[in-house]
């Protein structure tokens, strides 16, 4: 569990929770569960502690206990900054949500921003920005590119040379700060892609409709699940003849989209094709490729290039 809201406010409970974490890392799951339960007896209103107990019980294959712990975390934190609903869905205790809680995604990347580039590029062999840039090279250059979910600017560094203007939007303020430091973007703004086009924040003054020659989304849609809010937004952003280039994790034979144990979503190719058709975008190319490593194993993805009719 990330360190957000780690402290319970009780020093003894915090120490027991820390020992529990070390025991879990060493493989002694039964002891870690017991110590975490003791910590929560001292601090029963600690949402982060209940979430951690849920994780320990889940690893110990104590499903019902894990469900109870995640429900307690959710009751104490209705905004769900920890992603308890996602965990409950993976355990079969709730329906898979169409989208994760915005607070969960924002908090996740706010904490991840400082080590994001190192973790993805150097440790996880993350390759989407370069591959997506290669995908759009044949239809470049662009007058204006909008990078949705720009993160720290990894895609921006790859496509800066082929676009006159580059604008980036992200949910995480800390990620935007990192992107600003790199100096690739002409404008950066905060936006929640899980909201409808009116609420997402993209058209609140700076960015007008039907203005972008290229909209790109590198490794973003796996944090959204249902893409019903994204495709109308993209259509509103694009000029006639503009391009939409994006990546998804490959759901394989599954239908629609699925939630994986990484708490990311994977999408099927038929689902993406249907989304493109429904929102008036023509698919030009799809590339199947590995996009990163996860626990040493390659994650299979798909890169799409589509176009809005002229």
User: Which CATH number does the domain 11-95 belong to among 1.20.140.150, 1.10.10.10, 3.30.300.30, 1.25.40.10?
Assistant: 1.25.40.10
* Cβ-Cβ contacts under 8 Å for 246 (sequence gap 6 or more): 132, 216, 217, 218, 220, 221, 303, 304
Per-residue pLDDT tens over the stretch 197-211: 665 556 655 566 788
Q: Taking 70 as the threshold, does the pLDDT of residue 1 lie above it? A: no
Both tokens of 48, joined, read 């982060």
Per-residue pLDDT tens over the stretch 192-248: 888 766 655 566 555 667 889 999 999 999 999 999 989 999 999 999 999 999 999
Question: For the chain, how big is the Rg over CA atoms in Å?
Answer: 21
Domain map of the chain by residue range?
11-95, 111-307
Beta-carbon-side half-sphere exposure of residue 308 (alpha carbons within 13 Å) = 21
For 111-307, give the CATH class.
alpha beta
Q: How far is CA 146 from CA 70, 79, 83, 156, in A?
A: 37, 29, 28, 10
Which pTM does this prediction carry? 0.90
Q: Residue 76 and residue 70: Cα distance in Å, rounded?
A: 10
């Amino acid at each position: 569990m990330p360190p957000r809201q780690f402290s319970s406010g009780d020093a003894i409970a915090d120490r027991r929770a820390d020992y529990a974490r070390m025991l879990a890392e060493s493989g002694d799951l039964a002891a870690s569960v017991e110590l975490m339960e003791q910590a929560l007896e001292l601090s029963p209103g600690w949402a982060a502690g209940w979430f951690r107990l849920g994780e320990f019980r889940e690893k110990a294959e104590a499903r019902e206990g894990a469900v109870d712990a995640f429900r307690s975390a959710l009751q104490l934190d209705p905004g769900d900054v920890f992603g308890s609903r996602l965990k409950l869905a993976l355990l079969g205790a709730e329906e898979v949500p169409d989208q994760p809680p915005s607070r969960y995604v924002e908090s996740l990347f706010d904490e991840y921003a400082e080590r994001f580039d190192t973790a993805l590029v150097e440790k996880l062999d993350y390759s989407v920005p370069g591959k997506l840039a290669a995908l759009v090279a044949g239809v470049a250059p662009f007058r204006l590119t909008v990078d949705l979910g720009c993160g720290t600017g990894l895609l921006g560094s790859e496509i800066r040379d082929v676009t006159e203007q580059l604008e980036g939007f992200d949910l995480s303020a800390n990620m935007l700060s990192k992107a600003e430091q790199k100096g690739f973007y002409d404008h950066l703004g905060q936006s929640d892609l899980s909201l409808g086009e009116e609420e997402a924040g993209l058209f609140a003054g700076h960015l007008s409709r039907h203005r972008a020659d290229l909209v790109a989304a590198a490794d973003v849609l796996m944090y959204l699940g249902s893409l019903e809010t994204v495709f109308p937004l993209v259509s509103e952003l694009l000029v006639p003849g503009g391009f939409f280039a994006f990546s998804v994790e490959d759901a394989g034979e599954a239908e629609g989209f699925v939630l994986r144990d990484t708490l990311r979503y994977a999408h099927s190719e038929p689902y993406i094709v249907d989304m493109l058709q429904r929102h008036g975008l023509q698919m030009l190319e799809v590339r199947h490729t590995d996009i990163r490593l996860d626990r040493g194993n390659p994650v299979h993805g798909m890169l799409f290039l589509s176009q809005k009719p002229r």
